[in-house]
Amino acid sequence: MSNQLGLWIDHKKAVIVSIAETEEKIKEILSDVETQPRRSGDSPMKGSYEALQVPADDSQQNTLTQDFNTYYDELIDYIRNAESIFIFGPSSAKNELKQCLEANNLGAKVIGMETSDSMTNPQIVAKVRDFFAD
């Protein structure tokens, strides 16, 4: 893996770009986190929901947090050996990932963070190349 790494992230996927002299490698990691859990049981068309069929909010939040932590741990395992990391993306996922990196004593490797819109893979590669060219 290259020592310079760019990472575009949101809560659904991450696109990791490692830069080498003549080429770049792209790796996509999907989160598989369901942010809108579905209720179990009958549909409203068939009758009312019983209170026990709807999980408590704190239970849903705990499950969601655990799922995101699994996603971030997978990313950290992949980017752990990079010397410098540039993180960017449209959502709060970049800040959450940075907190996880700091908790794993890897926060010093993050040399840049930026908010950006959704991008195609070629746009992500170009942004990473531009960032590390400066």
CATH number for 96: 3.30.420.60
Instruction: State pTM to two decimals.
Output: 0.77
Q: What whole-number percentage of the chain has pLDDT above 70?
A: 74
The H or E element containing residue 129 is helix 121-133
Between CA 52 and CA 55 the distance in angstroms is 7
Q: 15 lies in which domain range? A: 4-34+55-133
**Is residue 32 over pLDDT 50?**
yes
Is 15 a member of any domain? yes
∠ CA(1), CA(79), CA(98), 5° rounding? 150
Between CA 39 and CA 59 the distance in angstroms is 13
103, two tokens: 């908790």
Is 50 a member of any domain? no
**Is residue 35 over pLDDT 80?**
no
Q: Which residues, 6+ apart, have CB-to-CB distance to 41 below 8 Å?
A: 49, 50, 53
Name the domain count of the chain. Answer: 1
80, two tokens: 């752990």
